[in-house]
């Protein structure tokens, strides 16, 4: 079921879409589009691509603004480099390159306008995530309000200088104590970043989550959990203890993380295993 659009979201979208009508009219239009996208029976003979084209169609023209669609997706927290949007972006670039191949410079994506056929072709490969977004069905529906609140918290905390960086591991001791950044990625891929979010840092125990995901993907969760549990231990993360089944309690305590890591590509050399894990983590960046 779709979420109701907040007034802040409607106002934000009206600026992107450059719609002069009242907020109520825009809200009605967006909600009607969302309902028709979610219910095949209410579409009559129209596809999802048809409905989305109509929403972004330019007045009195047989074109639609793909740039405005991209801006709307961004307003919901989706970025152009989202893997789910890659089919759309690749097709747009291909179409625009063919149009501009005689020019020295590509146009700004915000100005891109496509014919109905090209618009439908472009969004087809990413229609699932586009449709989900336009139905306001992402995990955080009021994304702009959420980001504003996060920024308030970020700003209120940036002048806190108590404490010090951990020095019991050399790489951690090298960290800049004045660096302050935040990055958020929701389960639906909505992303935001503030401050020194691109500053490299030693991931330390964050690697436990990656290694658990790698092992589960490669071997299957059933096999992995023959060697490690999945319940909280109630003890310190580095406590040497086992659960009632004589297994480490979960993959996020040291004992469980060691077991999980030992399962990854365990027939290969240590160097090859390191390269394998490192390549996957690097790919996620």
pLDDT tens digits, 251-284: 999 999 999 999 999 999 999 999 999 999 988 8
pLDDT value of residue 12: 61
Q: Residue 114: helix, strand or coil by DSSP?
A: strand
The pTM of this model reads 0.77
Q: In angstroms, what CA-CA distances link 257 with 220, 242, 250, 260?
A: 16, 13, 8, 5
Which helix (H) or strand (E) covers residue 203, if one does?
A: none
**CB-count exposure of residue 180 (10 Å: 0-12, 13-18, 19+):** middle
Q: For the segment 185-229, what is each residue's pLDDT rounded down to a tens digit?
A: 999 999 999 999 999 888 899 999 999 999 999 999 999 999 999
Q: For the segment 66-98, what is each residue's pLDDT rounded down to a tens digit?
A: 999 999 999 999 999 999 999 999 999 888 776
What mean pLDDT comes out for the span 125-154? 94
Radius of gyration (C-alpha) of the chain in whole angstroms: 24
Residue 101 has pLDDT above 70, yes or no: no
Least confident segment among 14-18, 31-35, 40-44, 82-86? 40-44
């Amino acid at each position: 079921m779709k979420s109701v659009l907040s007034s802040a979201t409607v106002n934000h979208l009206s600026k992107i879409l450059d719609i002069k009508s009242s907020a109520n009219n825009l809200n009605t239009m967006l909600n009607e589009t969302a309902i028709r996208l979610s219910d095949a029976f209410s579409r009559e003979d129209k596809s999802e691509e048809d409905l989305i084209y109509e929403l972004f169609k330019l007045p009195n023209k047989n074109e639609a603004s793909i740039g405005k669609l991209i801006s709307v997706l961004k307003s919901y927290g989706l970025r152009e480099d989202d893997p789910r949007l890659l089919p759309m972006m690749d097709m747009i670039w291909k179409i625009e390159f063919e149009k501009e191949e005689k020019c020295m410079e590509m146009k700004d994506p915000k100005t891109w306008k496509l014919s109905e056929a090209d618009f439908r072709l472009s969004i087809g490969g990413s229609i699932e995530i586009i449709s989900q977004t336009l139905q306001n069905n992402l995990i955080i529906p009021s994304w702009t309000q959420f980001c504003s609140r996060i920024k308030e918290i970020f700003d209120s905390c940036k002048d806190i200088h108590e404490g010090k960086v951990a020095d019991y591991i050399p790489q951690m001791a090298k960290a800049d104590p004045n660096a302050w950044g935040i990055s958020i990625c929701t389960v639906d891929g909505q992303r935001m970043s503030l401050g020194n979010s691109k500053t490299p840092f030693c991931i330390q125990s964050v690697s436990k989550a990656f290694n658990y995901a790698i092992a589960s993907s490669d071997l299957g969760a059933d096999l992995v959990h023959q060697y490690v549990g999945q319940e909280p231990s109630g003890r310190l993360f580095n406590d040497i203890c086992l659960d009632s089944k004589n297994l480490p309690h979960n993959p996020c305590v040291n004992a469980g993380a060691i077991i999980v890591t030992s399962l990854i590509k365990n027939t290969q050399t240590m160097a090859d295993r390191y390269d394998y894990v490192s390549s996957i983590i690097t790919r996620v960046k």
